[in-house]
């Protein structure tokens, strides 16, 4: 659903513009509400409402008697915020999420199929440099398991 990598900036009010390609997908699928939360690898996850409900269903059905499950759910769900795009296609990133992802002015917005990830530009560059060399090896491991 969401694919690609886009460079953007955060304005002084903490808003970002959702890339036009992603807004077109949202319009086509009648999506007007998103959920943003703490992601992994120091980025933010942005889900459609439908995908958020699927994530919620999946995680709330994990046993809360396991300490790691409780910890993950607390961090994941306490960080969540419901957002909608304004007429210019912008969303407001709450300060606590911006701090979590260490977002500065320049950011990368990437499509990862069922979610959008929001990265500080420098963090994305570092992640990409470290990860790209092992791309084929990772593919062999995860795709070879099927």
CATH code, 26: 3.40.1550.20
For residue 60, what is the DSSP state? H
pTM higher than 0.85: yes
pLDDT at 145: 59
Is 119 within 8 Å of 101 (Cβ atoms)? Answer: yes
Handedness of CA 21, 107, 85, 3 (dihedral sign): positive
pLDDT at 140: 85
Burial class (CB in 10 A: 0-12, 13-18, 19+), 103: buried
Q: How far apart, in whole angstroms, are the C-alpha atoms of residue 117 and residue 114?
A: 10
Query: DSSP of 76-90, one letter per residue?
Result: HHHT-EEEE--TTSE
Distances (CA, A) of 146 to 112, 114, 134: 20, 21, 19
- The parent domain of residue 27 ranges over 2-143
- Count the alpha carbons within 13 Å of 94 in the hemisphere toward its beta carbon: 17
pLDDT at 44: 98
Phi-psi label, residue 45: left if phi above 0, alpha if psi -120 to 50, beta otherwise: beta
Q: How far apart, in whole angstroms, are the C-alpha atoms of residue 44 and residue 100?
A: 8
pLDDT at 146: 57
Kindly give the confidence (pLDDT) of every residue in the chain, 146 residues in length, as a single tens digit, with 9 standing for 90 and above: 899 999 999 999 999 999 999 999 999 999 989 999 999 999 999 999 999 999 999 988 888 889 999 999 999 999 999 999 999 999 999 999 999 999 999 999 999 999 999 999 999 999 999 888 888 888 888 887 55
* Total structural domains within the chain: 1
């Amino acid at each position: 659903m969401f694919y690609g990598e886009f460079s953007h900036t955060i304005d002084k009010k903490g808003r970002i513009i959702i890339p036009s390609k992603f807004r077109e997908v949202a319009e086509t699928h009648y999506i007007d509400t998103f959920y943003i939360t703490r992601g992994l690898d120091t980025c933010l996850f942005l889900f459609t409402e439908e995908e958020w409900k699927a994530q919620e269903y999946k995680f709330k059905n994990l046993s809360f008697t396991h300490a790691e499950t409780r910890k993950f759910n607390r961090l994941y769900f306490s960080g969540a915020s419901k957002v909608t795009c304004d007429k210019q296609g912008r969303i407001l990133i709450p300060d606590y999420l911006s701090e979590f992802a260490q977002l500065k002015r320049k950011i990368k917005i990437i499509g990862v199929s069922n979610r959008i990830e929001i990265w500080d530009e420098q963090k994305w560059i570092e992640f990409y440099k470290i990860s790209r060399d092992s791309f084929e090896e990772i593919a062999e491991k995860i795709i070879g398991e099927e």
